[in-house]
């Protein structure tokens, strides 16, 4: 570390002035001492001159500049593809264990001059190398993005990317690779030579259909090196063939999109197996079968939006709710309520209006248990709103609004809102909420709180309550259209806004046919490798939500293997994270007891096997070569890994970076100066005392 003085706004001429002051003071003090020998007088004069000089410098107060030099070794990042396609479609003679061992040896070969860090990835990035190769999905762009974020502003010397170039999730890796300002060395795995293979490339379909209706799915049938063969495509439901077609293969790189019309003749979750008959000498038959699940609904639930004047929020609500095909939304002016059959609706949304404005609506809500969602804004009658419900009360002296931001509540557990949506909602524009003091009733759960400016408040923005068996929601602000526009502008979609509104409606309408004990999965179909989440609700005799008793559940798969769990309490309800379950169909049976009353609930869910990794067999080395060239790196084959260390050493752009850290402090902060002054004064006094000059 290097130290020096810097003067800033103080003139450097103070140094000789302070030195002159010290010499003058020492000369005046020691010019005529009687009892001191000559060498004592000179020594004590020097000590006194130094003390006065230092004290004067402390008064002038220049700055002390310290410079520290930190050397940062170049980072070498290794990212290894851990997806199952690496081991499924490998070249002859390729040994995955030997390959990973050679990749790990790079750290030892490069030595202490480089900081080598190892990772593996499939859908997400993980620490260390892996020999499992069991990833069900591949997202190369996401792995690059996470590495870039993890080591931002650090000395990344090189990135070694070992993959086959095949990805089935995320964006094109080329664009994300451009954001990493370093040389990328790609290790090209897999075989680029297309093998004889028939496969299902993709299946497009709606996950819901309505009883008695026809619906269509689209199957992408593909064939490689199979010219002259026939693709025998069949679709079966519960072992019964419902569709069959023979497709002649006219080329060695053949693809055809086949529309398949099916009929929803049974209610519930229907399983369809799409199959292509294998041919002789086919590379793999794993990609010949795809299973899809379609939820056949008896009828759509209806949602009614009532309003007194048009507002863009109403369109946003309608679009968001109807992303779930299980819902149909009708919007109506309150003045036209005579043309609406209120008993047909599972939920009534009162947009900046009150039920008391219409006797028909008021009487219907009073007599039924239909859920109600109040949305407030600048046109709301707060006095009438307070009189109609007890979930949220607003005390306002004047009719004014203020901008409030949404702040998701961590402990909310009535339903699950994804982490990505929560993060987006925090950054969305403010809504306009009535200005006043807010209060909530006992038992009210809050999903979103108001953030006014930079201050987080306890005021509710989106709250839920249960009033005598009726589920009620209150959104205390208007301006949802701003959320939709902002989200689309920043993220290219409106997923967070749609999810929030859709989940709110699902929660409210789940009350349409109230059961005392309800157990329901977060979704009926989970992807393989995804945690299975199951929710439960228990109501007492007064239809109040409770979670005092224990709730047990048993899941059983098609092979009769059982999984037993105990629900956790969350908020006023229950939730179970069953973790990752093997792919297959499961039935569940849950039970609990409240007092002398016993309750049971059953249902089914499916963990869908993912075959994404088998849909492409020919490696994409062209992509890897492009990524390497555009970054100044190089593409290598697995048998060339031994050259990596030399390539990295010879790359002049990969070097140790020395960072200069400058720090300025007042000279008065240098503690050892005070110690030196004290020692000099103490020594001077001792010698003068001994020689009789004190």
| pLDDT tens figures, 486-538 | 998 888 888 899 999 998 998 888 755 557 898 988 878 888 888 899 999 89
Burial of 538 (0-12, 13-18, 19+ CB in 10 A): buried
Q: Which residue has the tokens 């293997």?
A: 561
Helices 480-491 and 419-426: crossing angle in degrees, nearest 10, is 110
- Mean pLDDT for 647-670 is 80
pLDDT of residue 331: 93
613 or 257, higher pLDDT:
257
| pLDDT tens figures, 393-421 | 999 877 889 999 999 998 787 777 878 88
Say yes or no to pLDDT of 595 above 80.
yes
Torsion sign, CA atoms 612, 615, 618, 622? negative
- Mean pLDDT for 152-168 is 92
- Rounded Cα distance between 561 and 116, Å, is 45
| pLDDT tens figures, 320-330 | 998 887 788 99
pLDDT of residue 208: 78
- E strands along 436-484, which residues? 437-440, 445-452, 455-467, 470-475
Please state the pTM of the whole predicted model: 0.57
DSSP label of 83: B
pLDDT of residue 694: 62
Say yes or no to pLDDT of 467 above 60.
yes
436 or 68, higher pLDDT:
436
Q: Are 646 and 226 in contact (CB under 8 A)?
A: no
Which two structure tokens, joined as six digits, stand for 571?
């908020």
DSSP string, 625-670: HHHHHHHT--EE-GGGGGGHHHHHHH-TT---EEEEEEEEEEGGG-
Say yes or no to pLDDT of 639 above 80.
yes
pLDDT of residue 238: 81
- Rounded Cα distance between 181 and 430, Å, is 36
Interior CA angle at 501 toward 146 and 569, to 5°?
75
Lowest mean pLDDT among 15-29, 148-162, 298-312, 371-385: 15-29
What residues form DSSP beta bridges with 372?
Answer: 348, 472
pLDDT of residue 39: 72
Continuous segment of H or E residues that includes residue 389:
none
pLDDT of residue 326: 78
The percent of residues above 70 in pLDDT, for the chain, comes to 96
For residue 317, what pLDDT band results from cuts at 50, 70 and 90? Answer: very high
pLDDT of residue 332: 92
Torsion sign, CA atoms 387, 393, 399, 401? negative
Q: Alpha-carbon Rg of the chain, whole angstroms?
A: 37
């Amino acid at each position: 570390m290097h130290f020096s003085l810097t003067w800033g706004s103080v003139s450097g001429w103070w140094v000789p002035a302070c030195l002159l002051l010290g010499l003058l003071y020492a000369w005046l003090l020691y010019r005529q001492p009687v009892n001191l020998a000559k060498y004592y007088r000179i020594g004590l004069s020097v000590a006194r001159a130094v003390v006065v000089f230092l004290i004067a410098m402390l008064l002038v107060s220049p700055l002390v500049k310290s410079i520290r030099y930190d050397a940062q070794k170049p980072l070498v990042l290794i990212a290894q593809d851990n997806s199952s396609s690496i081991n499924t479609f490998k070249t002859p003679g390729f040994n995955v264990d030997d390959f990973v061992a050679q990749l790990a040896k790079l750290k030892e070969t490069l030595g202490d001059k480089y900081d080598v860090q190892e990772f593996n990835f499939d859908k997400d990035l993980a620490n260390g190398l892996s020999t499992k190769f069991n990833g069900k999905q591949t997202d190369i762009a996401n792995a690059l993005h996470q590495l870039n974020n993890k080591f931002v502003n650090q000395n990344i010397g090189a990135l070694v990317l070992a993959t086959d170039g095949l990805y089935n999730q995320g964006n094109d890796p080329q664009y994300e690779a451009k954001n990493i300002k370093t040389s990328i060395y790609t290790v090209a795995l897999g075989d680029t030579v297309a093998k004889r293979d028939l496969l299902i490339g993709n299946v497009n379909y709606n996950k819901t259909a309505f009883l008695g209706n026809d619906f269509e799915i689209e199957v992408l049938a593909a064939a490689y090196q199979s010219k002259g063969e026939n693709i025998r495509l069949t679709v079966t439901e519960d072992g019964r063939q419902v569709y069959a077609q023979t497709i002649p293969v006219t080329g060695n790189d053949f693809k055809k999109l086949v529309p398949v019309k099916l009929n929803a003749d049974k209610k519930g979750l229907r399983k369809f197996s799409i199959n292509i008959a294998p041919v002789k000498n086919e590379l793999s038959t794993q990609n010949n079968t795809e299973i899809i699940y379609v939820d056949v609904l008896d009828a759509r639930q209806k949602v009614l939006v009532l309003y007194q004047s048009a507002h863009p929020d109403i369109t946003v609500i309608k679009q968001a709710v109807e992303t779930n095909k299980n819902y149909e939304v009708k919007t109506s002016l309150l003045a036209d309520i005579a043309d609406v059959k209120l008993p047909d609706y599972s939920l009534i949304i009162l947009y900046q209006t009150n039920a008391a404005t219409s006797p028909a609506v008021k009487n219907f809500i009073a007599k039924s248990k239909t859920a109600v969602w109040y949305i407030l804004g600048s046109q709301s009658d707060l006095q009438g709103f307070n009189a109609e419900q007890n979930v949220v009360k607003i005390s306002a002296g004047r009719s004014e609004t203020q901008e409030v931001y949404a702040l998701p509540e961590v402990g909310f557990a009535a339903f699950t809102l994804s982490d990505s949506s929560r993060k987006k909602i925090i950054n969305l524009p403010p809504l306009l909420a009535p200005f006043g003091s807010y209060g909530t009733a006992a038992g009210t759960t809050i999903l979103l709180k108001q953030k006014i400016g930079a201050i987080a408040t306890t005021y509710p923005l989106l709250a839920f309550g249960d009033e005598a068996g009726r589920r009620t929601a209150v959104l205390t602000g208007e301006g949802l259209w701003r959320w939709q526009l902002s989200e689309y502008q920043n993220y290219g979609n409106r997923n967070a806004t749609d999810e929030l509104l859709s989940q709110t409606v699902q929660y409210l309408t789940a009350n349409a046919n109230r059961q005392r004990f309800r157990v329901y999965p977060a979704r009926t179909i989970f992807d393989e490798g995804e945690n299975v989440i199951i929710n439960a609700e228990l109501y007492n005799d007064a239809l109040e939500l409770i979670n005092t008793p224990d709730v047990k559940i048993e899941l059983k798969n098609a092979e009769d293997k059982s999984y037993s769990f105990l629900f956790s309490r969350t908020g006023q309800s229950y939730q179970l994270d069953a973790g990752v379950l093997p792919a297959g169909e499961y039935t569940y049976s849950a039970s609990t007891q409240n007092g002398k009353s016993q309750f049971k609930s059953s249902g089914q869910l499916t963990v869908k096997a993912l075959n994404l990794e088998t849909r492409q067999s020919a490696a994409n080395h062209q992509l890897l070569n492009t990524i390497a060239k555009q970054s100044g790196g190089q593409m290598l084959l697995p048998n060339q890994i031994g050259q990596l260390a030399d390539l990295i050493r010879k790359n002049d752009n990969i070097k140790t970076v020395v960072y200069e850290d400058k720090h300025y402090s007042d000279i008065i902060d240098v503690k050892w100066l005070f110690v030196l002054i004290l020692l000099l004064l103490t020594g001077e006094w001792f010698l003068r005392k001994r020689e009789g000059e004190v």
